[in-house]
Amino acid sequence: MKIIRPTFTKLTAVLFSVASACFCSAQSSERTTGVSNTGTPYFSDPALSPDASEIAFVSGGDIWTVPAKGGEARLLISHPDFETRPVYSPDGRYIAFTSTRSGNGDIYVLNFANGQLTRLTYDDGADNVNSWSPDGKYIYFSSSSREISGMQDVFRVRVDGGTPMPVSQNRYLSEFFPMPSPDGKTLAITARGVASGQWWRKGHSHLDESEIWLMHEGKNGTYEKITEGGAKELWPMWSKDSKTLYYISDRTGAANLYARPVGGAAKMLTQFAKGLILFPTISYNGQSIVFEKDFKVWRFDLASGKATPVDITRRGVPAGPGVEHVRLTSQFRGLELSPDGKKIAFIAHGDVFVASAKDGGDAVRVTTTGANEGQVTWAPNSNSIVYTSDRDGVSHLYQYNFITSSETRLTNDKLDDGSALFSYDGKTLAFVRDGKELRVLDMNSKNQISLAKGYFDRPPFSSSSSIAWSPDNRYVAYAAYGSKSFQNIYVVPVTGGEAKPVTFLANGNSGSVNWSRDGKYLLFNTSQRTENGAVARVDLVLQRPRFREDQFQQMFTEQVQTTPAPGNPPTTPRPNPEKANRAADTMFKSPAKTVKPGETTNIVFDGIRQRLNLLPLGVDVNDETISKDGNTLLITASVAGQVHLFTYSLDELSREPAVLKQLTSTPGFKSDAQFSPDGKEVYFLEQGRIQSITVDTRAVKPVAVTAELDVDFHKEKVEVFKQAWEVQNKGFYDETFHGADWNAVKTTYEPLAEGANTPDELRRILSLMVGELNASHSGVSGPPSPFITGRLGLRFEANEYENSAKLKIIEVITLGPAAVTGDIHVGDYLVSVDGVPISANVNIDQLLENKINKRVVVGISSAGSAKDTKKVTVRPVNQTTEKGLLYRQWVQQQRDYVAKVSGGRLGYVHMYDMSAQSLNQLYLDIDAENHSREGVVVDVRNNNGGFVNAYALDVLSRKGYMTMTVRGLPSAPARTQLGQRALDAPTILVTNQHSLSDAEDFAEGYRTLNLGKVVGEPTGGWIIYTSAATLIDGTTIRLPFIKVTDHEGKDMELHPRPVDILVSKPLGEYNKDSQLDVAVKVLLQQLDSKLSKK
């Protein structure tokens, strides 16, 4: 399911990334030698040489070799990026592997004879090496780059290069871990589920379960399922005579090695009681199998039936990262402008920095702890800041004084403190403890008192914007949760007393609390999911109207009061050059003036519920703040998929009516917007860079700031591990951690993290640690690499290319780059790209590198020869766009199929996921044609979840109750006429193993509301709401934090939603869909039965 807070970005279903770990790819850096590595080494991805005498394995992100019986390992392939999954060729002359040195993971092959290293794939997706063809000519791999969503297909590429070709490509169905039999007649593959990416999970859900299939030789390839399902069954391996398959299964709970004769029954070969077995390989002579278990390499002797760990000692220096001197000019967060407008504070790589707001330049680094600091807030005198730091494993508040250049710890509790905000006079600091208590700290005595208890946002969702002080420092307003998790605004006296609500909204999201400068009203944003964020105003007292005539009269009153008495003229102050020079030396030498208290704040609680209204803004508000003079509201809002800044007048005496005025026009994501003290400028972050913009002229000026620091991976990895463990320790939805001893888990994995040599190796270890929770919606990933490979929207015939080196087009993706030209058709040949002819050794992905959205000229021939070639200009798209086009083409194909097999009686809709975008697409797809059908097949197979299940169910569950007729027009259902979405027709639901998360909520609602039958497969059993936290190095870790139960109170996690009619869709089913066939048949039977009763 999607993240439930708008301040966090949704993560995709990719649960492990081999992306480049460089967090500063857009900035310059210098690398120096790092400190020596400590901790426990981690050995993974073992592979046996053909004669079973040698093992290649991965450690420290590099590839090593060791004698099969153990001993001293020597470094074979070393690179600062991550190498993984080495596999020997059948003749032992080569070793293939996947490396992130060129992005998200490409395939390389090393020639042992001459040491030549050759790159074979150029796709910007992750290509994972699996095996070799028996003749050593091809390398088999799996990749999701050409499939819909994250589904995988099986490909192979020649060892001497060329364009990879698909081997098994069942659309919208995952296939991976291919292994050809030694006789070359059969390909064993793993199909279904997400275990190719979530191999690190200990235990499994239905979504993790997989099956092993055989693809028999032939042009189209026939498929045969040989395992029963109901378990994770992975990594098929063939015996030397091609008569027995070995594989890993967790059918008994723990992972073990199995043997299954072709056509026979399976036999368990190992007897492990717990743990995982990962990435096994078999020697080509059939004598041994090696695998990863308990962070070591194990060897299983097939003759004796014994498994033993291989004793390994590394000899060599891995090429991991050293100490990098980093100059950051972006990737900043938590921007805070000082009250005097002269300084800016921000967070860069977990540390606090301060710079000149006017000139930028080199920022001053305030903290150097290596821990994660955040939530900076300035004292009103602009001479000190308060921030959070988790340097001791608990988030405490610290104050840094720029006058004395000293840091002071302000809190020292065992629970987390955060969301700190100074009172206007600077004497008191409000903050939240453990997400459950609002407290205030006297800055002189350092005494604390508790003001209120409740349910506040907790890290990583919390911020100081959920708190606001009254201008006279007598009250604190705050956002907190109440009944049914509705979030409302409360106020509490600073001296203590009862906290009282001032709003009573039935909304799940409220925050960004602002107290008006005159103390008479509060502003805050509030919303429900899928609804635009709105700014609400609640008047604390009855607001009397104000008139411009009164303002005009006041001008004369002020003139009388300020007229000087007769006598000596006032003395004009003379400038002090020495004092001015001292002030110029530093921003912090002269004390700043404190904020003067405003008018006394009064609150009339009687009738306050009726004094709330929404400002007429018409945008999706994310955040807002009031200018110092109280006359202007600065708004950060989303419009048409972009985030922009707006202003809105709060001045009741303005001559012009209040209207929303857009300040920014650039497309980058914007946050942390705030006024300068005089209200003439706005400072903000855009794409992590500091910017300012003038309110009147809307002139944008970058505040060019550079933050420099040394990043020592071997020190930082310890902090990254600590943060990752703490995220789950404090935020995982189940306090029992699904039965895992989380402290013991820390003890197990901490030495491994200390021994990690690259960021990707560290993330692999963190993934295994998270896997101990056996929870869905989990995972660890690094910053993604950008897409660089252009896509033409074409698919090619594999046999013809491998036999004659000709790229015959067998599919032109609808509305893709090739399709929109109108000059490229199925049956044509692609003969060149930008003048480079296609050949057996040319990879078209390499020709399309860095060609996204650029002019590319392709040669197209109807016969495959250069004689009749025509030049066609295309504009390649990126991977995401092509996947989206492929998905919409698939939807249309399913819609046509349902219309065909139902004789035109039934319509069809599919939901890609449960996002707001997919809900809008559902509204489009339930079109006039679908409304004209007798019934509709609703398909949520492969739906990745989200949060809009209730809205989609509403469309299907609403029943008609009136009809409306406009003279001269056909009658229409009242709901439709009044603008409400309602299908009001019989439906049937189709689900499968990959219907997960909110799609399962949808299935549960569909059954509970008795909307129709459910056909297909039980859902994935992935039912938690999740968010994510970003660690100090840019690593993202997902956090399942909300439990979901059904209407009977039963936990839905690990419990798939059942079906009424079980139908599986086999591999190799082309131009047919068994699940849709049954769905159509059942729904037509229901319709016919209903008609016969009339």
For residues 47 and 281, give the distance between their C-alpha atoms in angstroms, rounded to a whole number.
6
At a CB cut-off of 8 Å and minimum separation 6, what does 1072 contact?
Answer: none
The pair phi, psi for residue 712, each rounded to 5°, is: -105, 105
Q: Rounded distance, CA 605 to CA 627, Å?
A: 26
pLDDT at res. 599: 62
- Cβ distance 184 to 135 under 8 Å? yes
Report the pLDDT value the prediction gives residue 557, as an integer from 0 to 100: 59
pLDDT value for 1008: 96
What phi, psi does 924 have (nearest 5°)? -70, -40
**Quick one: pLDDT at residue 317?**
82
Instruction: Sheet with 44-48: list strands edge to edge.
Output: 44-48, 54-59, 62-67, 71-77, 312-315
In whole angstroms, give the CA distance from residue 497 to residue 451: 7
Tell me the per-residue pLDDT of 501-515, one tens digit each, with 9 for 90 and over.
Answer: 999 999 999 999 999
pLDDT at 13 over 90: no
Q: Which of 362, 333, 321, 331 is nearest to 463 (CA)?
A: 333
Residue 52 tokens read as 């079973």
Q: What is the SS3 assignment for 1007?
A: helix
On whether the CB atoms of residues 388 and 417 are closer than 8 A, the answer is yes
Nearest to 49, CA basis, from 61, 57, 39, 37: 57
C-beta of residue 935 within 8 angstroms of C-beta of residue 988: yes
Is residue 541 within 8 A of residue 520, CB to CB? The reply is: yes
pLDDT at 576: 47
- Residue 1080 tokens read as 């159509």
pLDDT of 106: 97
Amino acid 549: pLDDT: 61
CB 1007, CB 1076: distance < 8 Å: no
Give whole-number Cα distances, 1082 to 928, 1004, 1085, in Å. Answer: 23, 20, 5
Average pLDDT in the 398-414 region?
97
Cβ–Cβ under 8 Å, residues 455 and 465 = no
- Nearest CA among 721, 751, 760, 720 for reference residue 61: 760
**φ, ψ of residue 376 in degrees (nearest 5):** -75, 140
**72 three-class SS:** strand
**Distance between CA atoms of residues 793 and 1084, nearest Å:** 36
Q: Which H or E run contains 729?
A: helix 713-731
Q: Which two tokens stand for residue 478?
A: 């705050």
Q: How far apart are CA 48 and CA 244, in angstroms?
A: 18
pLDDT exceeds 50 at position 17: no
Q: What is the DSSP code string of 497-526?
A: ---EES-----SEEEEEEE-TTSSEEEEEE
Residue 753 has φ and ψ, to the nearest 5°, of -65, -40
The answer to whether the beta carbons of residues 256 and 232 sit under 8 Å apart is no
- Span 528-556, pLDDT tens digits: 887 899 999 999 999 877 666 665 566 55
Tell me the mean pLDDT in the region 27-39: 49
Domain boundaries, the chain: 794-877, 882-1022+1063-1093
Using alpha carbons, list the distances in angstroms from residue 88 to 55, 65, 132, 139. Answer: 9, 11, 8, 10
Q: Which of 933-942, 991-1000, 1040-1049, 1075-1084 has the lowest mean pLDDT?
A: 1040-1049
**Homologous superfamily of 794-877 in CATH?**
PDZ domain (2.30.42.10)
pLDDT in the model for residue 899 = 99
Vertex 1033: Cα angle to 436 and 373 (nearest 5): 40
Using alpha carbons, list the distances in angstroms from residue 245 to 53, 241, 265, 599: 22, 10, 11, 82
Residue 573: pLDDT over 60:
no
Q: Give, in degrees to the nearest 5, the angle at Cα 509 between 633 and 643.
A: 50
Catalytic residues: 777, 997, 1053
Confidence class for position 37, pLDDT limits 50, 70, 90: low
The pLDDT of residue 222 is 92
3-state class (DSSP) for residue 464? helix
Q: What is the pLDDT of residues 78-95, one digit of tens each?
A: 999 999 999 999 999 999
Q: What is residue 806's predicted lDDT score, i.e. its pLDDT? A: 97
Question: Do 383 and 403 form a contact (C-beta atoms < 8 A)?
Answer: yes
pLDDT tens for 49-74 read 999 999 999 999 999 999 999 999 99
**E strand spans, 51-198:** 54-59, 62-67, 71-77, 83-88, 94-99, 106-111, 117-119, 128-132, 138-143, 153-158, 165-168, 175-180, 186-191
CA-CA distance, 533 to 827, in Å (whole number)?
51
pTM of the entire predicted model: 0.90
| 616 strand-pairing partners | none
Whole-number pLDDT of residue 591:
39
First-to-final CA distance of the chain? 43
Looking only at Cα atoms, what is the longest distance across the chain?
116
Would you call 573 exposed, middle or buried from its count of C-beta atoms within 10 A (0-12, 13-18, 19+)?
A: exposed
| Fold of the domain spanning 882-1022+1063-1093 | 2-enoyl-CoA Hydratase; Chain A, domain 1 (3.90.226)
Coil, strand, or helix at residue 661? strand
Instruction: List phi, psi (to 5°) of 609.
Output: -60, -30
> What average pLDDT does range 131-154 have in this prediction?
97
With a cut of 70, say whether residue 593 has pLDDT above it.
no
Query: Within 10 A of 455 (CB to CB), how many other CB atoms are there?
Result: 12
**The two structure tokens encoding residue 280:** 């096994």
Contacts with 876 (C-beta within 8 Å, 6 or more apart), sequence order:
790, 791, 792, 817, 848, 851, 852, 853, 854, 856
Residue 551 has a pLDDT of 59
Count Cβ atoms below 10 Å from residue 703 Cβ, excluding itself. 20
CA 279 to chain centre: 26
Q: Please give the Cα distance from 320 to 544 (Å, whole number).
A: 69
**706 contacts 349 by C-beta, under 8 angstroms:** no
Look at residue 10 in the predicted model and tell me its pLDDT: 30
- How far apart (Å, rounded) are the C-alpha atoms in residues 379 and 725? 33
Q: How far apart are CA 1068 and CA 203, in angstroms?
A: 29
Residue 552: what pLDDT?
59
* Lookup result for tokens 């005198």: 381
- In this prediction, residue 463 carries a pLDDT of 77
Contact 361, 704 (CB under 8 A): yes
Going by the DSSP 8-state scheme, the letter that residue 994 receives in this structure is T
Percent of the chain with pLDDT strictly greater than 70: 91
- The residue among 360, 270, 348 whose CA lies nearest residue 309 is 270
Q: Token pair for residue 382?
A: 């602009």
**Are 779 and 15 contacting, i.e. CB atoms less than 8 angstroms apart?**
yes
Burial 898-925 (b: 16+ CB within 10 A, else e): bbebbeebbbbbbbbbbbeebbebbeeb
Residue pair 343/364 in contact by the 8 Å Cβ criterion: no
Dist CA 647 CA 631 (whole Å):
10
C-alpha to C-alpha distance for 160 and 137, rounded to whole angstroms: 8
Looking at residue 285, its pLDDT comes to 97
Query: What is each CA distance from 756 to 126, 782, 1037, in whole angstroms?
Result: 22, 15, 18
| d(C-alpha 509, C-alpha 247), whole Å | 48
Mean of all residue pLDDT scores within the chain: 91
Residue 286 Rama label (left phi>0; alpha psi -120 to 50; beta)? left
CA distances 761 to 35, 142, 204, 766, 857, Å, are 17, 21, 23, 9, 41
The pLDDT value recorded for residue 76 is 97
The band of 5, judged by pLDDT with boundaries at 50, 70 and 90, is very low
DSSP 468: E
| Residue 208 token pair | 């993790």
159 DSSP 8-state letter: T
